[in-house]
Amino acid sequence: MTPQCPALTIVLNHPAADSYARLIGERFPQVRPIVAPDSARLERYIGEADALLAFRFPVEVFDQAKKLRWFQCTGAGVDSIFPLRDRVGHITVTNARGIHGDIIADYVMAGATMLHWDFRKILREQAERKWNARYVAPLAERTLGVIGLGSIGTTIARRAKSAGMTVVGSKRDISVPVNCVDQLFASDALQDLLPLCDFVVLAVPGTVETVGLIGAAEIGRMRRGAFLINIARGNVIVEAELIKALSDGAIAGAMLDVFEREPLPQDSPLWDMPNVVATPHMAGSAANYTEKVFSILAENIERFLRGEVLENIVDLRRGY
């Protein structure tokens, strides 16, 4: 296979495009990687792409992508392609499912501990040189609920169980028990799950069905002393209703890694709320993230070249 006639041309629309291009070049000399991290280069080269690697699908150049047959998402959620769901039947969509569980479970357990001990208050007291000791119940006496028991949610459940917590969770198919989950609820039974929890972790995929999943009514079912942790998508929560609930003391606090608008607007009340920890969409960002994604990409390049079914194919009808 000559460079003039590559077996596969893959456009890399990603901040780490140079790294992906180097890794592809070292392992697949017959593949042509095109570095296109910005919109100008993407628009220039998308017409040549057999495959596209990106965190979000660039819907604005879809009509120019005449040759595109495969989209490899570098994240787990592919909701960016949903506006084109009825037009992309000829494109195989794959994601990075399976690489986020451990790092996100680290984030959730650190967040649960931080919220439970009120470390924001402790750090403020430290800055003010105040010595205010207090008693705190063990996490092992608390219940953590996971809404969405996919690969990430199941890893979170396992980590919480290893900390001695009672774990409850919800998923679409409850016919098969989930290891480390003490009580399983159907996805439409949140009204029964929420009152049981001291921590509610949102780990659902971003789909049409999960937009606005948690609003005032659902928050009203939570315990006043409970905390909400969101590592799913920002639009899973009705943000204005959450802000009101946090201001009114309807729940004790929240740890949020995702938001309705990102970056979080400078005028958002969430920046300054004393019962909120806000992080910049980083819960799944492992230090070796590029290498982890490349392991999936490389396997799929090999399968693509052999004409085999790819790994981590997303069912766009379900959204994951």
Helices and strands (H, E) in the chain, number of each type? 9, 12
> Of 14, 233, 239, 241, which is the active-site residue?
233
The C-alpha atoms of residue 1 and residue 196 are separated, in whole angstroms, by 61
The C-alpha atoms of residue 189 and residue 248 are separated, in whole angstroms, by 25
Q: How far is CA 178 from the centre of its chain?
A: 20
The C-alpha atoms of residue 57 and residue 52 are separated, in whole angstroms, by 9
The C-alpha atoms of residue 214 and residue 35 are separated, in whole angstroms, by 39
Q: Where would I find the H helices in 165-268?
A: 190-193, 216-221, 239-248
Token representation of residue 56: 């979000």
User: Is 148 in contact with 178 (CB distance < 8 Å)?
Assistant: no
> Of 221, 281, 299, 302, which is the active-site residue?
281
The C-alpha atoms of residue 96 and residue 56 are separated, in whole angstroms, by 12
User: Is 278 in contact with 237 (CB distance < 8 Å)?
Assistant: no
User: Is 231 in contact with 107 (CB distance < 8 Å)?
Assistant: yes
Residue 236 backbone phi and psi in degrees, to 5: -70, -25
> Of 60, 141, 262, 291, which is the active-site residue?
262
Give the side-chain half-sphere CA count within 13 A for 79: 14
| Residue 281 is among the residues annotated as catalytic for this protein | yes
Token representation of residue 134: 């207090």
| Residue 262 is among the residues annotated as catalytic for this protein | yes
Q: Is 11 helix (H, G, I), strand (E, B) or coil?
A: strand
Residues identified as active-site: 233, 262, 281
